[in-house]
């Protein structure tokens, strides 16, 4: 697709997972002198609850009422709106929207592929899937959106807590649309404990100088506000429910994962 309008298109998309360190990595990427990440972080462009999910061509211009940002997605705002968030002078430019791998937005991958093609690198953050689910629960519980007890909510097969922790399943539409060679998977635990090594790998994958380092990259971002205690029984139930997906992710990456060792 030939895109027109102000700004530029991104060549990096951080596509998730929710509560797995996307805010931190967004800042670490933006800290590189040859990169410019979007502000705000989560543009949520490739989904929109009001649009036909089979629509692969975004509106060319945004409607007069399309100011600001919508939690329900921003596809309707149009291509010019999206481009306006990226600096065309930056060699590497991107955004970070965990909603892109939400089970609620199956059209996001196909739309991104239609617009960006193979000119983009996808970055997916993962963490211990039980810890991620508990962190999401705690987030919603603090906001008042989740009144149920922890076990009831997490074991509900209709909720997103476990669905969003099935990383391989969340990645499937993106693998189908782009291929595994356009994907970089970052383990949040390693981003914290082996940051320099991890950022070196990410920088190289997205086309940045991998040797860049400054003191700001040692800073921790969004380390969380604590999570409720999980009983051994519930932990085992959740681990068992997620085991098949962890095995598929391990096979995809051809490596062991910290929580599965």
Higher model confidence: residue 51 or residue 147? Answer: 147
Look at residue 3 in the predicted model and tell me its pLDDT. 39
User: Would you state the CATH architecture of domain 12-260?
Assistant: 3-Layer(aba) Sandwich (3.40)
Mean pLDDT across 113-119: 95
Task: Give the model's confidence band at 69: pLDDT under 50 very low, under 70 low, under 90 confident, else very high.
Answer: low
List the one residue out of 84, 87, 46, 80 whose CA is nearest residue 63: 80
- Rounded CA separation 254/261 (Å): 13
CA atoms of 107 and 174, how far apart (whole Å): 10
Residue with tokens 């196909």, as numbered in its chain: 110
Give the pairing type, strands 183-187 and 35-37: unpaired
Strand segments, DSSP code E, in the chain are 12-16, 35-37, 92-96, 121-126, 183-187
Compute the average pLDDT of residues 145-159: 94
Tokens describing residue 104:
């609620």
CA distance 217 to 220: 8
Q: How far is Cα 46 from Cα 1, in angstroms, rounded to an integer?
A: 15
**What is the average pLDDT value for the chain, to the nearest integer?**
91
């Amino acid at each position: 697709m030939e895109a027109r309008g102000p700004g530029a298109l991104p060549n990096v998309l951080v596509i998730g997972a929710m509560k797995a360190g996307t805010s931190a990595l967004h800042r670490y990427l933006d800290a590189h002198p040859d990169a410019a990440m979007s502000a705000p972080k989560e543009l949520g462009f490739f989904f929109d609850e009001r649009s036909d999910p089979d629509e692969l061509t975004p509106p060319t211009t945004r409607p007069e009422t399309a100011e600001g940002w919508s939690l329900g997605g921003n596809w309707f705002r149009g291509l010019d709106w999206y481009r306006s968030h990226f600096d065309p002078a930056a060699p590497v430019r991107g955004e970070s929207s965990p909603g892109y791998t939400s089970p609620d937005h199956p059209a996001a991958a196909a739309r991104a592929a239609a617009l960006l093609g193979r000119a983009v690198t996808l970055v997916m953050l993962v963490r211990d899937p039980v810890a991620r689910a508990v962190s999401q629960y705690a987030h919603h519980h603090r906001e008042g959106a989740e009144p149920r007890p922890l076990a009831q909510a997490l074991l509900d097969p209709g909720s997103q807590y476990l669905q969003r922790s099935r990383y391989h399943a969340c990645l499937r539409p993106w693998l189908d649309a782009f291929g595994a060679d356009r994907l970089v998977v970052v383990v949040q635990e390693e981003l914290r404990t082996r940051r320099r090594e991890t950022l070196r790998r990410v920088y190289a994958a997205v086309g940045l100088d991998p040797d860049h380092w400054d003191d700001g990259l040692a800073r921790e971002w969004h380390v969380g506000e604590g999570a409720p205690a999980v009983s051994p029984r519930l932990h085992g139930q959740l681990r068992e429910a997620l085991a098949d997906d962890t095995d598929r992710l391990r096979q995809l990456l051809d490596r062991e994962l910290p929580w599965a060792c």
